[in-house]
Amino acid sequence: MPRGDKDAYTDKQKRKAEHIEKGYEKRGVSKDEAEGRAWATVNKDSGGGNKSGSGRGSKDSHDSARAGGRRSSSSRSTADRSAAAKKGWETRRKRAAH
Q: In this predicted model, what pLDDT tens digit does every residue of 37-52 receive, in sequence order?
A: 999 988 888 877 776 6
d(CA 33, CA 24): 9
d(CA 44, CA 39): 8
Asked if 45 and 59 touch (Cβ cutoff 8 Å), the reply is no
The pTM is what? Answer: 0.56
Structure-model confidence comparison of residues 72 and 61, the more confident one: 61
d(CA 42, CA 14): 9
- Domain segments of the chain as ranges: 8-48
Q: In this predicted model, what pLDDT tens digit does every residue of 29-38 receive, in sequence order?
A: 999 999 999 9
Output the CA angle 51-14-33, nearest 5 degrees.
125
Q: In this predicted model, what pLDDT tens digit does every residue of 12-27 receive, in sequence order?
A: 889 999 999 999 999 9
Residue-level pLDDT at 2: 65
Asked if 18 and 38 touch (Cβ cutoff 8 Å), the reply is yes
